[in-house]
Amino acid sequence: MKNITFSLNNKNVSIEIDPTKRLLDVLREDFGLTGTKEGCGIGECGACTVIVDKKAVCSCLMLLGQVDGKEVHTIEGIERDGELSLLQKNFIKFGAIQCGFCTPGMIMSATALLMENPNPSIDQIKRALSGNLCRCTGYVQIIEAIQATADEMNKKA
């Protein structure tokens, strides 16, 4: 057992736990953040994507000890004061949510992309989403939602 301290959705947290537990399991079981989904458990589907120190990562492949002293964001931390983020609103507006299972991971990957590159090309969006699988949308609506978000963010800047 080890005390692991990190920032979780902009709040400092500390937990006494086995540092070899997967980040995914700790987020869901210990912190009750069930928006992060387990799809494959081997880093292939992206349903478990979270942001660690501004980079999209598969939480099923990350051990809790690896986030000690780091900044972690989950889908639950994207909204502000009960209001969905612009990206979340655009996922709804463009019909990019269909069954919804992959949506949190898609939004987290897109959020990390927009943090790094506020004006991505279609190819850059596709590359950023390459680790996220969706069986419902065909990706067109997802790409449109991300493009629209980037456009709106750039108008405000």
Same fold, 2-77 and 86-156: no
Helix (H, G, I), strand (E, B) or coil at 107: helix
Structure tokens at 7: 């920032």
What is the dotted CATH code of the domain comprising 86-156? 1.10.150.120
pLDDT of residue 34: 98
**CA distances in angstroms from 72 to 40, 91, 92, listed in the order given:** 21, 22, 24
pLDDT of residue 36: 98
Delimit the domains of the chain by residue range.
2-77, 86-156
pLDDT, one tens digit per residue, over 112-124 is 999 999 999 999 9
pLDDT, one tens digit per residue, over 10-33 is 999 999 999 999 999 999 999 999
Top CATH class of 2-77 equals alpha beta
Q: What's the pTM?
A: 0.96
